[in-house]
Amino acid sequence: MLGGIQPQPLAHASDGTLPLDVVEAAIKPDDAHFARTRLLCLENTWHGRPMPLDYLADARALCDRRGLGLHLDGARLFNAAVAQGVPVRDIARHFDSVSVCLSKGLGAPVGSVLLGSAALVAQARRWRKVTGGGMRQAGILAAAALHALDHHVERLAADHDRAARLAAALSALGVEVTGQHTNMVFVQVAPASTASLVEHMARAGVRLSPGSEGKLRLVLHLDVDDAGLKRVVDAWAGFRG
């Protein structure tokens, strides 16, 4: 409402990409009956899946050819970079603007940053003020964010490793693991057993927040160490649903 924006969601392919032929077909013609198509937004990672680098280059080329801006929802951008073994700049260079979350895997207590041109950042600051945003005495939070950027990027590989180990351990227990990508493990539980599983795991000190129809997303991060991983596996092993 505030930005006069009309989102147009498109279905992802199984690898997490938006098929670029579908994107191009969705670009509105220059017609007064339609909102102007101005921006393509991508997410990396998507459900833990890093976007292929050649796909990002192709998306950039499409946007250049059709006069679109390109924005990255990079909440887990550093996970993608670590998983692909490339500097973050190799991903971010394709985009006009990037948002990055400093909590989640990086472990800062709060915070996200918006990266872009000086003009874009100035406009974003104005809109933040218009909508009541802004903080006073935020330096201690900024210090935590800087510490995360300096010390918690390379260690994301440990989260990815623990996620792979968790997926393997649950599969060995007969749990239906539907996917594992970077720091995320996806599990399907029989819907009728979901409530009893949640109760059982809670008694073991493990909280679960199931999605619809027994779907679970288990996310490894800075605060889950090997002991925590073992507690999850041991608790699941004792479930008789």
Please state at what angle helix 226-237 crosses helix 194-203, rounded to 10 degrees.
Answer: 130
Model pLDDT for residues 85-132, shown as the tens digit of each residue: 999 999 999 999 999 999 988 999 988 999 999 999 999 999 999 888
Question: Among 128, 151, 174, which residue terminates a domain?
Answer: 151
- Token pair 């915070």 is found at 111
The whole domain housing 228 covers 156-237
| Residue 2: per-residue pLDDT | 79
Question: Same domain for 125 and 228?
Answer: no
The CA–CA distances, whole Å, from 66 to 37, 61, 73, 200 equal 9, 9, 21, 53
Task: Record the tokens describing residue 215, joined without a space.
Answer: 């779907």
Task: Record the tokens describing residue 46, joined without a space.
Answer: 């998507």
Model pLDDT for residues 221-231, shown as the tens digit of each residue: 999 999 999 99
Question: Same domain for 137 and 179?
Answer: no
Helices (H), 27-182: 53-66, 77-84, 88-92, 118-130, 139-151, 156-172
**Distance of alpha carbon 235 from alpha carbon 217, whole angstroms:** 17
Amino acid code (one letter) for 98 = V
| Residue 197: per-residue pLDDT | 95
Question: Same domain for 52 and 67?
Answer: yes
Model pLDDT for residues 139-185, shown as the tens digit of each residue: 999 999 999 999 999 999 999 999 999 999 999 999 999 999 999 99
Would 133 be classed as within a structural domain? yes
Question: Among 151, 179, 214, which residue terminates a domain?
Answer: 151
| H or E element in which residue 38 lies | none
Question: Among 87, 120, 151, which residue terminates a domain?
Answer: 151
**Distance of alpha carbon 34 from alpha carbon 223, whole angstroms:** 47
Model pLDDT for residues 35-88, shown as the tens digit of each residue: 999 999 999 999 999 999 999 999 999 999 999 999 999 999 999 999 999 999
